[in-house]
Structure 1
């Protein structure tokens, strides 16, 4: 009997994108890779809009629902909807990929930065020059905070040095709140001055501010970790500094899916990323609950929706239209926009084709709240299925 190979599902969660990779632990080959684009900001914008509408009604003393005061309690582990959607997206894809591939374990980047390691490690010449793991944690944090630019001149793409805002010779500490990034020219020019004396008091303020995106990741990390443990697979955890250490060691470029392949200490000594075609997965949701459109005064402008599904199709499905006669003869593949009349529109890579009858359409993939494309070619794609060899998405 053929021997079962070991596959590791690796995840690099982020506030806007999450990298996913399946790695053959014996050969080091990345057999599947994807980047999930979350819709947390869209959810927050929708909730803000709804809150504004309700407050406007209340202020104008117009019709609105009665106040409810018995729904203010939150269950243990409650997360805002914008953050909960990130956890749900990752959980959905772990479940789907587990059905397609014999996953032996999961590797999760649990923390972006190992703050305990940064606080206990003394920043000295060895770490500046040799780049130990503790140095990687610190650099990654500062690069993220100061957007990979010099904190003083603002120029990107230069070799950056870790610099003390208040010099050590004047009582400055090695605390992360007293460190910033500077190019060599600005570092030498600043000399023994503080950032305020050098003319940049805002640098000190920025150094003390927490990072917004890592804060979102840190808020959801344990919820995601606990959900992954419920799959019954061993879950390995790693830090962002270790991920960068593994990626730099192998000379790989920085992308979300490559970062995912480098998560954890179980990363093979040599990763083979040459055979994978990364998939771009964008969370789009399942439509809106709004039944009709409004005019600028808030009055109903259109009739309510007749339905969501007609003739076996719904808006967002990926389909093939084979038209054999008429003005629109040809084969079209793309997303469908439906009408109750049966006259559909299809959005292809060449543009929109309107007015094709539903009888010409064949369903390829039902709308599941995600849109798919290839990262390299920006082409429409369908998600992996059990029939697709090698766990790669089907090419349209």
Structure 2
């Protein structure tokens, strides 16, 4: 994984290899500027030549992939891979808990904050806090990486699939309708719509085939609303039968449904209901992507966009395994991708604490009181520390995220689990808490798993 390099005046220079960074540190020409992501700052250099770098993004509901690549004549070379894990679920849960507290105070005539829903208006483009958090977190890391590397352009997977072209394949012309990429767009959309299982029998972990709900011989079209996914057995047995007749007469289908614990009537109703789902559901899923796209344009850098179908097409064509970070590296037009077998830095959004000074049990009653000071002996929860314990049950070196206690006996979250009861006297600050937790995933087994992941 490349190491970010800053000049003497903290200007971004071209990233270097780990070996070169190690030599610069040993010779005293550089100092460690930041541990995660690892960045060094040169002491004797002000500027230098740079090459065009692109920052690619693959937005996701729970995890967003980021990749820094270098553009060259023979393709693109991966320098760094990141996976940003969001905390939207925790934000939603906290807001629901706060709403329940206020509701109870109002109903019990206790001291309360007056309801304000009547005098609040939502501005245009408003997103729920759990969704806005994802946009803000991604933009925070885009800004951070632009300060660490000379980023010249951005690539974003704007939508999972182009719903307008799916609804009307001839919107651009026959070239798109018969192109190689169309099959990937349609299949990716159907996988998302039908839950990656056979629509008829509910079978999973089996190859799925694109199937016409109303057969072409009975007047069915190739529009995506008439397509579904089925296993080979259901596809063969259904043939050109109407949907209701297939569920009523097929003995093989009923046998498979019995194994999965489903009934023919329930599955038929599900298929008919799912078939009528409008295409605008996909646009609702991609709501935050448009907000992110507008935020990326505001940076002033050129922004190129692509679809999830193109990303999957690039990844499978080049034989690259599926991860969030590697999906980001495959976003947009891509001829070749080199040096993608690098470690991935997982960045987990943890927040910066809470104003709440107590904890609650499962019944909503107060359980204990938290300390009011944020720092203990110069440490605070979220700091990355290195603890060298010379004696006792916790003997050894422990590196990870610390959780402080008033007594000075801390817990350290390491890669191998939690080490509790470590005295502050043995701890040394590596990096101050910035609201994120970091974990480096090695790349040694990516190449071996490539064939299985792609298949």
TM-score bracket, shorter-length normalisation? 0.7 to 0.9
Q: 1:59 to 1:299 in 2, by over 3 A?
A: same
Q: 1:376 to 1:170 in 2, by over 3 A?
A: same
Q: Shift of the alpha carbon at 1:212?
A: 11
> Aligned pair 1:115/2:163, yes or no?
yes
**Residue number in structure 2 paired with 1:284:** 350
Q: Shift of the alpha carbon at 1:146?
A: 2.1
Distance (whole Å) between structure 1 residues aligned to residue 218 and residue 376 of structure 2 = 73
**Residue number in structure 1 paired with 2:8:** none
> Aligned pair 1:105/2:153, yes or no?
yes
In structure 2, the residue corresponding to 1:347 is in which secondary structure? strand
Q: Shift of the alpha carbon at 1:347?
A: 3.1
**Residue number in structure 2 paired with 1:358:** 424
1:224-243 mapped onto 2 (5 Å cutoff): 224-243=292-311
1:38–1:283 contact (8 Å) kept in structure 2: yes
> Aligned pair 1:262/2:310, yes or no?
no
Distance (whole Å) between structure 1 residues aligned to residue 306 and residue 83 of structure 2 = 19
Distance (whole Å) between structure 1 residues aligned to residue 277 and residue 302 of structure 2 = 36
> Aligned pair 1:53/2:101, yes or no?
yes
**Residue number in structure 1 paired with 2:439:** 373
Q: Shift of the alpha carbon at 1:44?
A: 1.5
**Residue number in structure 2 paired with 1:394:** none
Q: Which has the higher contact order (CA 8 A, sep 6+)?
A: 1
> Aligned pair 1:95/2:143, yes or no?
yes
Total equivalences in the alignment? 372
Q: 1:335 to 1:214 in 2, by over 3 A?
A: farther
Q: 1:65 to 1:39 in 2, by over 3 A?
A: same
In structure 2, the residue corresponding to 1:306 is in which secondary structure? coil
2:85–2:347 contact (8 Å) kept in structure 1: yes
1:246-325 mapped onto 2 (5 Å cutoff): 246-265=314-333, 267=334, 269-294=335-360, 298-324=364-390
**Residue number in structure 1 paired with 2:112:** 64
Q: 1:96-117: CA deviations, max 9, x gaps? A: 1111111110001111111122
Q: Shift of the alpha carbon at 1:298?
A: 4.7
2:58–2:157 contact (8 Å) kept in structure 1: yes
Distance (whole Å) between structure 2 residues aligned to residue 6 and residue 225 of structure 1 = 21
Choose from 85, 105, 108 the match for 1:37: 85
Q: 1:76 to 1:360 in 2, by over 3 A?
A: same
Choose from 180, 192, 201 the match for 1:153: 201
Q: 1:78-137: CA deviations, max 9, x gaps? A: 110011011011101111111111111000111111112212227xxx99x987212211
TM-score normalised to the size of structure 2?
Answer: 0.74
Larger mean Cα displacement after TM superposition, 208-217 or 243-252: 208-217
Q: Shift of the alpha carbon at 1:255?
A: 1.8
Q: 1:349 to 1:184 in 2, by over 3 A?
A: closer
> Aligned pair 1:25/2:71, yes or no?
yes
Choose from 365, 384, 399 the match for 1:333: 399
Distance (whole Å) between structure 2 residues aligned to residue 271 and residue 320 of structure 1 = 37
Distance (whole Å) between structure 2 residues aligned to residue 190 and residue 60 of structure 1 = 60
Q: Shift of the alpha carbon at 1:304?
A: 4.7
1:143-222 mapped onto 2 (5 Å cutoff): 143-199=191-247, 200-209=268-277, 214-215=282-283, 217-222=285-290
Choose from 244, 248, 251 the match for 2:312: 244
TM-score normalised to the size of structure 1?
Answer: 0.84
Distance (whole Å) between structure 2 residues aligned to residue 373 and residue 111 of structure 1 = 28
> Aligned pair 1:83/2:151, yes or no?
no
Q: 1:199-222: CA deviations, max 9, x gaps? A: 223112123336999555421122
Q: Shift of the alpha carbon at 1:362?
A: 0.8
Q: 1:80 to 1:322 in 2, by over 3 A?
A: same
Distance (whole Å) between structure 2 residues aligned to residue 111 and residue 352 of structure 1 = 39
In structure 1, the residue corresponding to 2:246 is in which secondary structure? coil
Q: 1:146-205: CA deviations, max 9, x gaps? A: 233221232334333221222233343333222101123211211222333322231121
